[in-house]
Structures are given as structure tokens and as C-alpha cells.
Amino acid sequence: MKILVIRFSSIGDLVLTTPVIRCLHRQLGAEVHVLTKAAFAPLLSDNPHVHRVHIWEEIREGDMDTLTRERFDQVVDLHNNLRSWKVRLALGRPSVAFDKLNIAKWLRVRLGWDILPHQHLVDRYFEGMASLGVIYDGEGLDHFIPADAAVDPGKYLPENTPFAVAVLGAAHATKQIPAGKYRDILSDIAGPVLLIGGPAEQAEGEAMAAMPSAFPRVNLAGQLSLQQSADVIRRSAVVLTPDTGMMHLAAALRKPVVTVWGNTIPAFGMYPFYPDGMAEETRFEVGGLSCRPCSKLGAPQCPKGHFRCMNDQPAAAIARAVEARLIPSGAVRHLPNGQ
């Protein structure tokens, strides 16, 4: 059986497809192909459950024959938008999709009506595939890092030093921890922190790393590939992150996460997803805000101008949550100037 899974983007969304890919491969013995954008193909490059990754930009240039020649038995549409519908139509093969709950999300954002199911996106994926006889196996997300993406923390820290990873940036501004708030958090963490992010976060990472601290602050933002960033996460003790793709990568690598939520809400179904019986998220949200969520994805700026969902976050409590994974129980916190 040959199956095409469609998910064009983005980092977190691709990582959240991995239980589906694994179960299709294992339970049906299927040869699984994935159609995604070029920027996200490396996420699946070493996944043993993926036979081939097809690049959307190449298909969009008119090479639909590449997919047609594969003669897929089934298409599993995990993007479920107009573009993916056109691919399904062009291939003319049996297909399944999932419910994006767009109406329920719209009602929650615009009117405050909460009719969302208490269900993770991964579970909705499997509901959409019920007709295929595939069920979730309880094993969580997958991520596989190629050997050539290895990063040695010993280049930056003494050997075998536990460290935290702090994820800078996010796809949308209203998901990002503001720079001032992030500096308050980092200045209060008693332990080493490695900063990761893209080129857009490089300058801010340098400024944060330059802050006075008794503990190392190393900026790696803009210096690592996607898979290298994943390897840094894999070697860490804990990951501090807003609602980002790196949050999902951390969960796939079974790492504890301290999550800081801005305009988006976990009730949309995209919180960290761990194997059954594992709960490694410490979550921070500002309650009592009638304006939250202000969108289902994110926005360029706070519509109200105050950005309280992030500016009111408790920096000291977030720092303590990170430290709880860095400092052994009973150990004494040593802060600069005897604080």
C-alpha cells in the first residue's frame, strides 16, 4: 500500500504529523510519502517511517506528473485547505482529511463561545483516518536527527553541565515573549542557558547573552540549522519556549518544557504532546483576559495595544520553573551579589 500524506507547513505542524506517519507505516505496512514545503523537508529527512519527501514548490511549478506516477492507493490530507484539495482532485485517488474546527475556533476568538473539544490535534488527525483502521499507538511524536547535525555543548560550557535552552522568536509577534520580559526571566535563572532562534533573532540573542550574569548565556540564534537546533534541544535539561515549532520538537525529543502562552491558547489543541503516561509541560498563561485569544494563529501586534497576555507573565515564577529542572532538589541557588 502506498500512501501520500499532505502537510505543507510549518515546523510544529510537521512534527505533529509524525504519529500518523509512524502508524500508517507500522499498522498498514504502507510505503508513506509526504508532500511538504522545501523549508520543512529536513524535519523528515531521517525519519525511518518516511519513504520519500516530495517538495511542494516543485509540484507547484507544474510537476504534478511526479505524484501521479506514484499511483498512490490513498491520500491522507493533514493540511485540508484549498491547495491540498486541488492536489487530491488532481490525483483522483481515495482520500481522507480531518476537521480543522475552523467554525469552533472562530466562535471562540470572535464571540468567546467555547465549543472546542478537549482534544489534541493529533487525536483529531486519527479521527479523520478512522476509515483506514489506523489507531494511535500511544508513543507520542517522533523526531530523528542526522549524525552530521550533532552540536557539542562542550564548545560553550564545561563538559556535562546541565543547561536550559531558551527559544527566541515565534512565527507571529503575539506568540513571542517580548524582549524585556525575556530579559527579566533570563536574568533570574540560576544556571546556564543556550539561546536558539533564526537569523531574525540573532541581534536580540547577542544582547541577551551580553547581559551581566553569574551564569553562562550563549547565543546560538541564527547560527544553527533546523536539525542542529533540534540537537541542542535534545542535549538540554529543559526548554523554555513560547508557542512555537521548537516546543513540539522538544516534546518529540521527550524533553521537559516550560511554555509561555501569549495570544494563542492550548484549547486550540496544539499544546506539547507526549507519549501516554508522560507529562513534562509546565505551562504559564495569563488568566482573566477577555481579549484572549485574539486570533487562532497569531498577529503582527496586540490588537488592544497592551499585550497583557505576555507583559503580565510572572518572570520570577517562570525562572523558578526552569531552575527546577536545572538545580537538584535541595541545592542552594547562588545568585550574583549574594542575592
- Listed by start position, the domains of the chain span 2-132, 151-326
Query: CB neighbours of 26 closer than 8 A, spacing ≥ 6?
Result: 49, 137
Residues 97-153 have pLDDT tens digits of 999 999 999 999 999 999 999 999 999 999 999 999 999 999 999 999 999 999 999
**Taking a C-beta distance cutoff of 8 angstroms, is the pair 6, 87 a contact?**
yes
Match 502508524 to its residue by C-alpha cell. 23
Fold of 2-132: Rossmann fold (3.40.50)
Beta strands of the chain (E only): which ranges? Answer: 2-6, 31-36, 52-55, 74-77, 95-97, 164-167, 193-196, 217-219, 238-242, 257-260, 281-284
Exposure b/e, 117-139, CB count within 10 A at least 16 = b? eeebbbbbbbebbeebebebeee
Supply the pLDDT for residue 177: 97
Separation of alpha carbons 56 and 62, rounded Å: 10
**Taking a C-beta distance cutoff of 8 angstroms, is the pair 46, 145 a contact?**
yes
Beta strands of 164-264 (E only): which ranges? Answer: 164-167, 193-196, 217-219, 238-242, 257-260
What does the block give as the cell for 244?
Answer: 512555537
Q: CATH classification of 151-326 is 3.40.50.1980, yes or no? A: no
Q: What residue ranges of the chain have pLDDT lower than 50? A: 335-339
2-132 and 151-326: identical CATH topology? yes
What does the CA dihedral 153, 154, 157, 159 come to, rounded to 10 degrees?
A: 120
- Are β-strands 95-97 and 164-167 bridged in parallel, bridged antiparallel, or unpaired? unpaired
